[in-house]
Amino acid sequence: MTAIPLLPTPKERDAQAARRSMLDLSREELTAFMAELGQPAFRARQIWDWIYKRYAVTFEEMTNLPRELRTRLADAAVISPLTVITETLSLDRDTQKVLFQLPDGETIETVLMLYDKRRTLCISSQVGCAMGCTFCATAQGGLARNLTAGEIVAQVLYFARYLNDPDQPPHTGIQRPARVTNIVLMGMGEPMHNYNSVWTALRRLTDPDAFGLGARHITLSTVGLVPMIDRMAHEGLQIGLAVSLHAPNDELRTQLVPVNKGYGVDDVLDAVDRYTNETGRRVTFEYALMRGINDSPELARELADKLAPRLCHVNLIPLNPIPDSPFQPASDADTAAFVQILREAGVSATVRLRRGIEINAGCGQLRQAEQTKSEE
């Protein structure tokens, strides 16, 4: 683990917070900001390209801007709101996790997973989470606040720059394909609970004039907030939908995912059906397998009965154990039996590879580990 000692002081943080946050500006707002500084519109275009196409983090590197303007901008605005606190790399060096500090001192985490051809980024949408899932590390601290659209986009730009520049630390020696190929909103937070900022960020990330990643390469994971699933179905962007089911019936699901009291299993499945009808897209159900809780053959059959008629895929995730938690991962044998039952019933299912377990790469786990350390 590399600790970066250069965190801003509270005073520096206040000064930073007072400056204009470039990543929170739309193209139009950036143009208006440049007009305020007495600059022509083409300067906004240049800065936009530096940020979203060349991943600039300082105005100083924007060499086609006049030096005097770069200095003025550096005084008036800030590009990335993120400061790296720790970067950790898994032993097999294919999962990298970064804990960032935000201008108000809050922290979030982002995980980069290196697969054969994909570079998948798992990003956060909130500081903490209000959903209270009983097996999840992020839920334990509750919700601190929503992320702004700029804070969501900044996580992606950080790794885009990192992958693009082999000289960036940490020097892992691994070959780095040059770009972020996939994004999943499976970090901290419930993206549907911060709907507007998340969708502003998604539009920026998919806009060919901005970051320009294909919408089909992005997946939004939700605990199942039904009205927001309906809203997403009408956004007109081909972002993938994943729903955290974890149990086939209300009695069990309510124990694991408390929001199930408001939107039960059948409500969620009905919303998914409406989404599929509207978009023609296959939805993924996530199911974290917990020993003795939701991993029995009976529950597998109950789940298979519910899902078999639907256009969907089930992602079985062996639980990432979290400290002081009664929940333990299912055994390999029970996991294999569970997936087998689903497949025999005609439900497409895979067991997701566990990534970065020793670096606490599960949802909210690095942040929790850091907080525990600082409390000691």
So which residues are the catalytic ones? 109, 363
Burial of 289 (0-12, 13-18, 19+ CB in 10 A): buried
Structure tokens at 178: 């040059």
322 to 341: interface string for ligand SAH, x by CB under 6 A: x-------------------
Q: 47 vs 239, which CB is nearer to ligand SAH?
A: 239
CB environment 32-71: b (16+ within 10 A), e (fewer):
ebbeeeebeeebbeebbebbbeebbbebeebeebeeebee
Q: Give the residue, chosen from 65, 111, 283, 363, that forms a contact with ligand SAH under the rule CB under 6 A.
A: 363
CB atoms within 10 A of CB 192: 23
223 to 242: interface string for ligand SAH, x by CB under 6 A: x-------------------
Q: 83 vs 221, which CB is nearer to ligand SAH?
A: 221
Q: 209 vs 235, which CB is nearer to ligand SAH?
A: 235
| DSSP count for the chain of H helices, then E strands | 12, 15
Strand partners, 122: 111, 184
Structure tokens at 290: 């917990």
Distance CA(358)–CA(365), nearest Å, equals 11
CB environment 99-119: b (16+ within 10 A), e (fewer):
bbbbbeebbbbbbbbbeeeeb
Structure tokens at 52: 């979203």
Rg of the chain taking only CA atoms, in angstroms: 21
320 makes contact with ligand SAH (CB under 6 A): yes
Contact 326, 285 (CB under 8 A): no
Q: Give the residue, chosen from 288, 293, 300, 312, that forms a contact with ligand SAH under the rule CB under 6 A.
A: 288
65 makes contact with ligand SAH (CB under 6 A): no
Q: How far is the CB of 129 from ligand SAH (least distance, A)?
A: 6
Q: Give the residue, chosen from 24, 286, 295, 334, that forms a contact with ligand SAH under the rule CB under 6 A.
A: 286
- Residues near ligand SAH (CB under 6 A), total: 18
Angle at 129 between CA 111 and CA 20, to 5 degrees: 70
Q: 223 vs 304, which CB is nearer to ligand SAH?
A: 223
294 makes contact with ligand SAH (CB under 6 A): no
Question: Which of these ranges, 38-46, 133-141, 147-155, 265-273, lies near ligand SAH under the rule CB under 6 A?
Answer: 133-141
110 makes contact with ligand SAH (CB under 6 A): no
Q: Report 300-319 residues binding ligand SAH (CB under 6 A).
A: 317, 319
135 makes contact with ligand SAH (CB under 6 A): yes
- Number of Cα atoms under 13 Å in the Cβ half of residue 9: 2
190 makes contact with ligand SAH (CB under 6 A): yes
Q: 31 vs 222, which CB is nearer to ligand SAH?
A: 222
User: Could you list the residues that contact ligand SAH (CB under 6 A)?
Assistant: 131, 133, 135-136, 186, 190, 221-223, 244, 286, 288, 317, 319-320, 322, 362-363
